[in-house]
Every structure is written in structure tokens, then in C-alpha cells.
Amino acid sequence: MSTEMKVTKEELQRNHIPLAWRDSCAYILIPLNKCRESTRYMPWKCEHERHLYEKCQYELYLKRMKNASDKALSH
């Protein structure tokens, strides 16, 4: 999982992505939010997009935990 941004700052602003969610998974959040808006937030309509976003977030979490564990072991 790459930690580089796949969308520009301008795209994030244009799509009203809050600062708290501007991580390397933001490129998945944009189509998820568009799907949610177009389906009036019916949870069963955007399951695939939501799954992709949650998987990306989980992988980032695992990466952060591994980095924290590596730092703790090195001290």
C-alpha cells in the first residue's frame, strides 16, 4: 500500500474532503461520497466503494501499527 497521494489538493478541495480524511485513501473517498450523494446515502447501494475505502483505511492502520512496533523495538 502506497502512502503517496493519488489526488491533488485542488481535487480534495473541489470534492469537499475534510482535512481529517485527506490521507492516501482519499482517492477512494471521492467516488464513495459521490455514490452516497447520488443514492441518498442508502447504505446498501455503495457497498463495493465502502469496502474498498475501509480496506484501504485498515491497511494504513496496519502500516502505522507496524511502524510503531518497529520503533518501540528499536529503543
* pLDDT tens-digit readout, 18-72: 999 999 999 999 999 999 999 999 989 999 999 999 999 999 999 999 999 999 8
Q: Measured between alpha carbons, how far is 20 from 42 in angstroms, rounded to an integer?
A: 23
User: Of 75, 43, 59, which is closest to residue 2 (Cα–Cα)?
Assistant: 59
DSSP structural state of residue 29: H
pTM value?
A: 0.88
